[in-house]
Amino acid sequence: MPLCFETNLSFQIASAILFSNCNAFKISKLPSMKQLTFLLLLSIAGQVSYAQNKNLDAKFALKLYNLSSWEKKVIPAAQGIFTGTETIKQNQLFHPAIAFRIRNKKNNFHEIELTNLEVGTKNTITEINYNQGMLMPIAGAKTTTSAIAVRYEYILNFLKKRNSRFMPSLGLALMPYYMRTNFDPVLATQFPVTNTRMGAKGFLVPRLNYAITSRLLVDVNVPFCITDSYVERVNQRNPNITQREQKYETGNFDGIPNRYSFRVGLGLTI
């Protein structure tokens, strides 16, 4: 608003000087093209500055998200001479994530999110009573998991010239990720297996932001996963098979995978 006031004031002063000169010369000298162009530019600049959406003024914002998701995977499986498929269904209602947003000169946004960070160990064992109260393990393992995923998103804003609390936008996102699982069984009849997956997912993200105050906003969005490409490496340390069979690698590309997400966040502008 200050820029608009100064520009309009400059426009009024320039107009007064110009047309007072014309009156003094009894309209004997009309404004030149340069003068008219200068006045027009001042007027346009005043209107543009007045029309900027003040809710997009903040250079930086910090966000806290909750991501809810549902995913279904069908992967090939084999047991001896038999082949088939393995179906995996995953539901997650609560998954917190933190993100940092930066505004560029076009009033669009760059956003970086730490989507997943996991390091953990799980120990399981199943025992039965054997030989007068002695316990004998029949199943169990130590499973160590580590994972990280970071999402970069470029967000196109639609209402840049209008002071609206509701701000629709569309994001294009890429999420590189890494996952590693090590399975170390209790029984000598089973063998350790390490599974490593590295890849990247692509997303199309319709968004709707609402400015609660000048510094606080709500961000509701639906990330549509459109691609998932990854390399998977398996190392099963079974001495009964060859070294080549113990280690193998596969490349995979899934278009429009069965993954559905809903994300809501609270942001604080800085």
Q: What is the pTM of this model?
A: 0.72
Mean pLDDT over residues 7-32, rounded?
A: 46
* pLDDT tens per residue, range 239-261: 888 888 888 899 999 999 989 99
* pLDDT tens per residue, range 203-222: 999 999 999 998 999 999 99
* pLDDT tens per residue, range 66-102: 999 999 888 777 665 677 888 888 899 999 999 999 9
Paired tokens of 164: 């609206």
Q: What's the pLDDT at 160? A: 79
* pLDDT tens per residue, range 113-139: 999 999 999 998 888 887 777 888 888
pLDDT tier at 55 (50, 70, 90 boundaries)? confident
CATH number of 57-269: 2.40.160
Residue scoring higher pLDDT (201 or 57): 201
Handedness of CA 205, 202, 99, 223 (dihedral sign): positive
Average pLDDT, the chain: 82
Q: What's the pLDDT at 37? A: 53
Domain spans in the chain, listed from the N-terminal domain onward:
2-50, 57-269
